[in-house]
Every structure is written in C-alpha cells, then in structure tokens.
Amino acid sequence: MPATRTDVARRANVSVSTVSRVLNNSGYVSTEVRQKIEAAIKELNYVPNRAARSLRSQHYRQVACIGPSVSNLFYNDIVAGVEETALEYGYTLSWYHLNRDRIQDINVIMNGFYDGIIFLAPFDIEDVVVLSNVASQFPTCVYSDRGKSYDSPYVFVDLRTAMRKNVEYLISLGHERILFLGYEFDDPEENPRYQGYVDALESAGLPVHPNLVQLIPDYKDTITYGHDLIRDIVEQGVFFSAIAASNDSVAVGALRGLREAGLQVPQEVSVTGCDDIELANLITPALTTIHIPRQDIGVKLMELLIQQIQNQHASRKFIELPTRMVVRESVDHNHRTLGS
C-alpha cells in the first residue's frame, strides 16, 4: 500500500501540517525538521497523491519538464523541441531546473496542474526520487544517455558509442596522446562520454594516461573552464596532439586557450567536440564534432508523453536516435611527437 502524508509525519515525528508545508514549499520549516521529513519521504518512497486528479476527466493542457539549467546549450535545444511539439498539440510547457539541492521542489511539481512530466537528466535526482513512483501518478517520459532502461517510455542516445567514434577518428589520423576534457562524475562508470574515450583507447591498445583526463565541475561555465584547463595543462608541460572534448562548449574554450598558448589548430593540435551546437560551425576553425539530434530528442519525448496522456499505448517503450560524425576544419593528421 502506498505511503501517505500521515505515514511520513509519523516517521519524521512531526505533524501532518508540517509535512504539507514542506511538500508545498510554503510556510516556515526549520532546516533540521525539513531534512527529517525529506529523509522520511525517501525512506517510504512517498509520492504526493493528487486525489483530485482521479476525480476529473478533463486535462490541464500543461506539461512539466525537469532538467539541468538551460544555460547548457545541449539541454536548451532539447527543451526547444519539447516546447515546439507541445504547442502543436495544444499544450503549454513549464520548465523546472531541479537538482539534488532543490529536490523538495518535486513535491510542488507533483501538486501542480500538469498532465505529464518529462525528465531530462534523471541521473541527477534518481537517488532521491523514485521515478517509478512518479510514473504511477503521472504520464512520464525520460531522456537517457547512460545505457540504462526505465519503466517509463524513454528516448535514448548512445553517447558512449558517439565519443568512441570521435576518438577512433583521431586515432586513425595517428593521434595517440589524446587529451579528454569532460565533466566530473561521482562514478566514472556512469560517464558515457568518458567511457567511450576509454573504449577507443583500449581497443587500439593505447594506455589511458591519468594526466590526459581533465575534468570540469558539473554545471560550471564550460567555455571558461575549457579555456582555463588548456592554459594550465600547457603551462604544466603536458604533451598531447589532440583533444577530445565532451561537448562543443568545452572545445570552444579549448580552442581559445590553445591559440593564446601559441598552438595552431589543426596544424599542431587537433580538436573535436560533441553535440554539434550552432557555434561549432561558426568559429574558426570550424569544429569537428559528433552531431546529437537534440531537437529531435525533445520532439520524440513530447510525442511519447502525448500518447500516454491520451491513453494510447506507445508503439515502442523507447526510441533510440542515431548520432553521426561531422568532419570540419579542426582536425588533421598528427604532426607532433613527444619532445617536438
């Protein structure tokens, strides 16, 4: 039997009204008490039950989309696809930037007037939110790039294979000391782009040099960090002939850092990105990258959600979208050797 607010209150040793204030994010609740309630919610796998929802047949014509900051151009384009498709079907979209630090906001969303929810980065919150419980109350769709399946319909892009293609292309041009610029992860096994980098090196019989793996704190300005990392690495005398950046923003910052360090691209250092954002084709040299169909991801997510809202059985539980290599001007054969 699903847990109730009374169960949560009993577990946290507080009143039901205090639990309601936390769930609705209204009224004062001390940090200590809030933490006790949030712990009880997690332990009991409690999901707010909007009883009114079961008593109505009409739809609100609104959907919620939850994910990282849209200042990240990757997710910005996905949201654009979601919103465009939502409008075509007569729905409006509400966007929520949600992470572990703001996890209590999920309760506000669950009590909102939405017909469905799209999760763009469930790996950021699934250790504190049981997605299957959310899906039991709402039509739910998920974007996944981790090779992990979900109970809800989801759209999948194999970023591990995408990055492997990227690095294999560099290796085919004679590059062996390839610098990886990516994000920090609690568990490297959960980082598909890093794992693709490792896969390509190991397949070619090349070692993974720890000093050639440089990580950026998550949710930071990736262009600035890409620039600063390259300047630091060059000053430290670390040798590399190519860079495999985990996204195009990092690669753009790296290009500027290389130029300031007096290194020519691609004559001395080759650079690849991943995502194929608009900027990748506008900079000089134009960036070789992996095209990720970001707007299509958003379109498919919304289409799967609409099928659930309209009580239609989705023809597929998940949709995998392809990636492709886009070769431009930032890559050449390796002309550098260690010590040159």
> Which residues in the chain come in under a pLDDT of 70?
1, 24-27, 48-58, 70, 99-105, 107, 122-132, 135, 147-148, 186-188, 218-221, 312-316, 338-340
- The pTM score is 0.79
Residue 263, domain CATH: 3.40.50.2300
Helix (H) or strand (E) holding 265: none
Residue 197, pLDDT score: 97
User: Is there a domain that residue 329 lies in?
Assistant: no
Is the same domain home to 178 and 252?
Answer: yes
Residue 56, pLDDT score: 44
Residue 76, pLDDT score: 86
C-alpha–C-alpha distance, residues 106 and 260, integer Å? 44
Q: What share of the chain is helix, strand, coil (3-state, %, to 5)?
A: 45, 15, 40
Is the same domain home to 183 and 268?
Answer: yes
Is the same domain home to 73 and 9?
Answer: no
Pair of tokens at residue 239:
């040798």
Residue 318, pLDDT score: 85
Is the same domain home to 14 and 125?
Answer: no
Is the same domain home to 221 and 74?
Answer: no
Pair of tokens at residue 18:
């205090």
Residue 204, pLDDT score: 98
> Cβ of 122: how many Cβ atoms within 10 Å?
22
Instruction: Give the list of residues 6+ apart from residue 111 with CB closer than 8 angstroms, or none.
Output: 23, 24, 48, 50
Is the same domain home to 189 and 176?
Answer: yes
Domain that holds residue 88: 62-158+293-322
Residue 103, pLDDT score: 60
Residue pair 290/323 in contact by the 8 Å Cβ criterion: yes
Number of domains in the chain: 3
Domain limit, last residue, from 292, 308, 335 = 292
Is the same domain home to 126 and 40?
Answer: no
Is the same domain home to 199 and 258?
Answer: yes
Residue 54, pLDDT score: 44
**Is omega for the bond preceding 2 within 30 degrees of 0, making it cis?**
no
Residue 149, pLDDT score: 72
Cross-strand bridge partners of residue 243: 179, 271
Residue 12, domain CATH: 1.10.260.40
C-alpha–C-alpha distance, residues 264 and 267, integer Å? 6
Is the same domain home to 297 and 153?
Answer: yes
Pair of tokens at residue 61:
């014509």
User: Is there a domain that residue 331 lies in?
Assistant: no
